[in-house]
Amino acid sequence: MAQRWSISNALRGMFQRETITEETWEDLETALITADFGPDIAEEVVEALRADVDRLVVDDPRELRRMLRETLEERFAAYDPTLTLQERPAVILVVGVNGVGKTTTIGKLARLLASHGQSVVVGAADTFRAAAVEQLATWAQRAGVEVVRPEREGQDPASVAFQTVQRAQAGGIAMCIVDTAGRLQTKGGLMDELGKIRRVVEKLAPVSEVLLVLDATTGQNGVAQAQAFIEHAGVTGLVITKLDGSAKGGFVLAVQERTGIPIKLIGQGEGIDDLTGFTPHVFVEQLVG
Ligand SMILES: Nc1nc2c(ncn2[C@@H]2O[C@H](COP(=O)(O)OP(=O)(O)OP(=O)(O)O)[C@@H](O)[C@H]2O)c(=O)[nH]1
């Protein structure tokens, strides 16, 4: 089944024509803008392909499809999507605004790492809401990994993060994933708290990854969210969630290029197995069809 974010349907008419015409280019630009690549990237892609088509004297739209895949794949692959988890323990902080899917992503990631034979502990440094702690504990149980809870409601999140890393070190646990409370990128005090969590954790161990979770359905607004987190939390990778509910496959490229931070994981569903690494080749095959 075609992914909802695929632009293959939008491109269908274009590839059914016998030759490449002016309408072909208009259709392509519209398809790219509709998919939320943003006007700048859409224009750049169309211009680059136009130049190649002229230079190589191509007039078969099927050849243009192949060239479109290549151009997009090259742009997607300009960043390294590999998670850097060599430290022991490898500490991963997960940050983002409210409701983007942080806790769900942690459950899925814990499962993914555990299925590769890694021991994992997750820490509930979202101490504002008791329900958030329980939600994380439920995911940990599903993933078959340990959880460190706050000792009391409202405990300093940095101290829960600290205790989670201590637990990993004491138990020889390889991976330590810390959940943080959702926060609006405009709330300065809460953003500073992320810096504190990081500094406190670093007293024990280096932070291997700071993953910023972005909801694909928010589109270009996600870029503004990303900038503030990048400034305050030293983000090393992006996780794009809810792509299954989005028609905005182009957002993935736009956010990566505008922030300069690689996409490392993609969430496409609410189930525990609905998280994958980001593979530009596979993504573009599905995107262009
Ligand atoms: N369709 C879909 N839903 C998702 C995905 N990831 C998360 N969700 C849903 O998004 C909602 C919010 O997810 P949470 O994991 O609670 O989000 P959070 O960022 O931890 O939320 P706060 O702790 O309130 O900031 C839940 O209903 C999840 O099931 C995804 O990839 N696809």
Closest CA to 235 of 254, 208, 253, 216: 208
DSSP run (H or E) holding 179: strand 175-180
Residue 48 is predicted with a pLDDT of 96
**Residues 191, 241 within the same domain:** yes
Give binding residues for GTP as ranges.
96-103, 179-183, 241-244
Q: How many domains are there within the chain?
A: 2
ipTM, 2 dp: 0.98
Q: Which of 3, 4, 104, 105 is the pocket-test mutation for ligand 1 (most atoms within 8 Å of CB)?
A: 104
**Which residues does a 6 A CB cutoff place in the pocket of ligand 1?**
96, 98-104, 126, 132, 182, 241-242, 244-245, 267-270, 274
Residue 1 is predicted with a pLDDT of 54
CA of 31 to the centre of ligand 1 (A): 28
The two structure tokens encoding residue 118: 């890694």
Residue 184 is predicted with a pLDDT of 82
Of 50, 76, 102, the position where a domain reaches its end is 76
Task: Write out the chain's pLDDT in tens, 289 residues.
Answer: 567 888 888 888 888 888 999 999 999 999 999 888 989 999 999 999 999 999 999 899 999 999 999 999 999 999 999 999 999 999 999 999 999 999 999 999 999 999 999 999 999 998 888 889 999 999 999 999 999 999 988 899 999 999 999 999 999 999 999 999 888 877 878 888 899 999 999 999 999 999 999 999 887 778 888 888 998 889 999 999 999 988 788 888 989 999 999 999 999 999 999 999 999 999 999 899 8
Residue 64: CA count within 13 A, CB half-sphere? 28
Distance between CA atoms of residues 69 and 109, nearest Å:
29
Q: Which atom belonging to ligand 1 lies closest to the Cα atom of 97?
A: 25
**Residues 35, 169 within the same domain:** no
Backbone angles phi, psi at 154, to 5 degrees: 80, 5
**Residues 58, 96 within the same domain:** no
Show the DSSP H helices in the chain as ranges. Answer: 8-16, 22-34, 39-56, 61-76, 102-115, 130-143, 157-171, 188-201, 221-233, 250-259, 280-288
Distance between CA atoms of residues 202 and 120, nearest Å:
19
Residue 33 is predicted with a pLDDT of 92
**Residues 118, 205 within the same domain:** yes
**Residues 117, 187 within the same domain:** yes
Could you tell me if residue 201 is inside a domain?
Answer: yes
Of 76, 104, 119, the position where a domain reaches its end is 76
Residue 224 is predicted with a pLDDT of 83
CA of 105 to the centre of ligand 1 (A): 8
Q: Could you tell me the residue range of the domain that residue 223 belongs to? A: 90-288
CA of 256 to the centre of ligand 1 (A): 21
